[in-house]
């Protein structure tokens, strides 16, 4: 217990003991396929509900690649990327009541006020504009800290890098993967087709097994990803080698009960060209009558702008057969995931040792290597990259 209290004390004193005036952060300035690591001003408390978090580990996510490729952004000013992070509370505003300096916390990717009557459908997203700095930096300001920080237990095991990665993923992709199944109306014993074996898709397959799926199919074209999916028990389906619907139906003649889209609007066809709506059509075709479909891949096209010069590459529209959808009595739900909704389920799963979502990790890097590893991740040479601050 003494050593844990010492950890908290060190976390609390870090800003006081340091003479630093700036921090390092990953910045996107609007040039597709290019990020830089820059000196940035340290964040400060702006509102009494704010907290400052000293970040120990952050991640590079598939959503970050939409920005990196110049497809999706808000505003016209360079901004700090990143929306996945874990660390220690180093300062709190006067109105923060449920947190203390030194608390070990995951930062939720979506910032909401906690007031239902004032809540927009989609809260402010870290790392999407200069309005709210991203989390691929040494420190972050978190508005409405009481509702946007997820406390996790501080134990000797927690301080290991592997379990820190497990907990970090609750703030976005583990919760997103879990939600994809929930939105498909998943029940134990169901068969599941997961489209996409990137980080979210791998964790959707993993979540399906945790929740009692009988069989899980993982659809992708990247050999390394399909091998990782197979290592957790999923049946790999390479859509370049043949129609994924027909490949799955060869195993499941009546279709799977649940299908989930973990790719989004950059979905590819067998020629590895973007074809909007192809995954939605395939899910309708492969899902059993009265089955369910969950969509968590990003389908949020934006107009061309200074920070999204390639937005025109993807379409905001998708064509599907309403007849197929209607006559099969399918249900479908998609959208943005509120990680805080699933944290009460996922934190105990990790704390008890049942779940280890950090198995998707392929590299842990220093922040100065971020430009190189953005390129590697974009080329599907990495399954998941974490940036660690000693």
- Secondary-structure class of domain 173-334 per CATH: alpha beta
Low-confidence winner among 47-61, 197-211, 298-312 (lowest mean pLDDT): 298-312
Q: What is the pLDDT of residues 275-317, one digit of tens each?
A: 989 999 999 999 999 999 999 999 988 889 999 999 999 988 8
Residue 240 reports pLDDT greater than 60: yes
How does DSSP classify residue 107? E
Give the per-residue pLDDT at 11.
Answer: 53
Per DSSP, what are the bridge partners of residue 129?
Answer: 132
H or E, element range at 280:
helix 278-286
Q: Check if CATH label 3.40.1360.10 holds for domain 2-172+338-388.
A: no
Distances (CA, A) of 157 to 11, 87, 104, 255, 353: 17, 15, 13, 42, 10
Residue 4 reports pLDDT greater than 90: no
Give the per-residue pLDDT at 14.
Answer: 52
Terminal Cα distance for the chain, rounded: 22
Q: Stretch 18-32: mean pLDDT, rounded?
A: 89
Token couple for 281 = 């059509």
Phi/psi of residue 100, each to 5°? Answer: -130, 155
**What are the residue ranges spanned by the domains of the chain?**
2-172+338-388, 173-334
**What is the sign, positive or negative, of the torsion defined by CA atoms of 316, 375, 138, 364?**
positive
Q: What is the pLDDT of residues 34-47, one digit of tens each?
A: 999 999 999 999 99
Q: How confident is the model at residue 159 (pLDDT cuts 50, 70, 90)?
A: low
CA atoms within 13 A on the CB side of 289: 5
Q: What is the pLDDT of residues 347-388, one digit of tens each?
A: 999 999 999 999 999 999 999 999 999 999 999 999 999 999
Q: Is 379 exposed, middle or buried (0-12, 13-18, 19+ CB in 10 A)?
A: exposed
Distances (CA, A) of 248 to 74, 204, 313, 332: 39, 17, 30, 20
Residue 206 reports pLDDT greater than 60: yes
Distance, C-alpha 56 to centroid of its chain:
17
Q: What is the pLDDT of residues 87-129, one digit of tens each?
A: 999 999 999 999 999 999 999 998 887 765 444 444 588 988 8
Residue 9 reports pLDDT greater than 90: no
Residue 16 reports pLDDT greater than 50: no
Residue 170 reports pLDDT greater than 50: yes
Give the per-residue pLDDT at 130.
Answer: 78
Place of tokens 């370049």: 240
Nearest-5° angle of CA 4, CA 7, CA 13? 145
Q: Stretch 255-268: mean pLDDT, rounded?
A: 97
Give the per-residue pLDDT at 120.
Answer: 47
Q: What is the pLDDT of residues 173-197, one digit of tens each?
A: 999 999 999 999 999 999 999 999 9
Q: What is the pLDDT of residues 309-357, one digit of tens each?
A: 999 999 888 899 999 999 999 999 999 899 999 999 999 999 999 999 9
């Amino acid at each position: 217990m003494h050593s844990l209290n010492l950890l908290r004390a060190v976390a609390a004193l870090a800003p006081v003991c340091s003479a630093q005036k700036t921090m390092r952060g990953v910045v996107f300035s609007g040039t597709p396929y290019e990020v830089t690591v820059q000196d940035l001003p340290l964040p400060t408390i702006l509102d009494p509900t704010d907290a400052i978090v000293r970040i120990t580990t952050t991640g590079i996510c598939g959503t970050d690649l939409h920005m990196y490729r110049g497809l999706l952004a808000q505003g016209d000013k360079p901004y700090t990327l990143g929306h996945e992070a874990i660390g220690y509370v180093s300062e709190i505003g006067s109105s923060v009541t449920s947190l203390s300096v030194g608390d070990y916390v995951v930062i939720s990717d979506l910032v909401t006020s906690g007031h239902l009557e004032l809540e927009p459908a989609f809260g402010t997203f870290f790392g999407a504009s200069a309005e709210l700095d991203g989390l691929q930096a040494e420190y972050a300001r978190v508005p409405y800290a009481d509702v946007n920080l997820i406390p996790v237990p501080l134990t000797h095991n927690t301080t290991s890098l592997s379990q820190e990665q497990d907990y970090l993923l609750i703030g976005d992709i583990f919760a997103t993967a879990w939600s994809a199944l929930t939105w498909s109306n998943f029940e134990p014993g169901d068969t599941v087709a997961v489209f996409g074996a990137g980080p979210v898709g791998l964790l959707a397959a993993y979540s399906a097994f945790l929740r009692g799926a009988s069989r899980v199919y993982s659809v992708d074209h990247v050999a390394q990803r399909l091998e990782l999916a197979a290592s957790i028990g999923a049946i790999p389906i390479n859509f370049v080698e043949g129609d994924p619907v027909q490949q799955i139906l060869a195993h499941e003649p009546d279709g799977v009960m649940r299908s989930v889209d973990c790719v989004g609007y950059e979905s590819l066809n067998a020629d590895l060209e973007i074809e909007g709506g192809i995954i939605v059509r395939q899910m309708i075709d492969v899902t059993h009558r009265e089955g369910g479909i969950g969509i968590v891949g990003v389908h949020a096209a934006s107009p061309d702008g200074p920070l999204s010069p390639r937005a025109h590459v993807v379409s905001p529209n998708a064509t599907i057969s309403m007849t197929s959808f209607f006559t099969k009595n399918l249900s479908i739900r998609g959208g943005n995931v509120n990680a805080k909704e699933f944290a009460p389920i996922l934190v105990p799963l990790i704390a008890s040792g049942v779940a280890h979502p950090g198995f998707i990790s392929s590299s842990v890097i220093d922040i100065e290597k971020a430009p190189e590893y953005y390129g590697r991740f974009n080329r599907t040479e990495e399954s998941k990259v974490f940036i660690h601050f000693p």
